[in-house]
């Protein structure tokens, strides 16, 4: 039995940079590797409905994710997502009842040694097991209501608003 269903959509967590920092591709889901290396003590399953930079996500992509989560029997869902449009996706998913849905991401790829990805993933899997049903964003050691959060580009972090 699966304790947590993980949907990966691409974004910075899964980015692989090539010769220059602005030349990248979206690689396979890094979250599974992170959880295996951490010796996670819960059963999880990963599904990747698409792997895109969040700036390339469309309303149709968000609807696909919404539909998949609605149809999924899992009650605890973590979504790895690009940070640029994470708030829009979280707001789209807000209509899903009776599930705990946590979106998380990273401001630098999981494959980078100094990435915030491992910290954010750990916080997300803890939060999804403790929170009441609803949709949340977990970034930078904080839990946010998608209706009251913003990405502060100057400080490179999420914050309450």
Length of the chain: 161
pLDDT band at 27; cut points 50, 70, 90: low
Give the residues across from 150 on adjacent strands: 159
Q: What are 72-123's pLDDT values in tens digits? A: 999 999 999 999 999 999 999 999 999 999 999 987 665 556 678 889 999 9
- CATH class, domain 4-160, is alpha beta
pLDDT at 107: 79
Q: Could you state, in order of their start, the residue ranges of all structural domains in the chain?
A: 4-160
C-beta of residue 93 within 8 angstroms of C-beta of residue 64: no
- Averaged pLDDT, 7-23: 68
Q: What are 33-65's pLDDT values in tens digits? A: 889 999 999 999 999 999 998 999 999 999 999
């Amino acid at each position: 039995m699966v304790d947590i269903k993980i949907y990966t959509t691409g974004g910075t967590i899964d980015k692989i940079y090539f010769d220059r920092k602005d030349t990248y591709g979206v690689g396979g889901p890094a979250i599974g590797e992170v959880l295996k290396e951490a010796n996670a003590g819960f059963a999880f399953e990963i599904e990747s409905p698409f792997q895109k930079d969040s700036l390339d996500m469309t309303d149709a992509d968000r609807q696909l994710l919404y539909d998949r989560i609605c149809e999924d029997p899992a009650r605890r869902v973590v979504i790895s997502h690009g940070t640029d449009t994470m708030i829009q996706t979280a707001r789209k998913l807000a209509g899903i009842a009776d599930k705990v849905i946590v979106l998380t991401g990273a401001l630098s790829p999981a494959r980078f040694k100094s990435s915030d990805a491992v910290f954010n993933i750990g916080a997300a899997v803890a939060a999804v097991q403790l929170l009441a049903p609803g949709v949340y964003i977990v970034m930078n050691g904080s839990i946010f209501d998608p209706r009251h959060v913003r990405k502060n580009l100057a400080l490179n972090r999420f914050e309450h608003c």
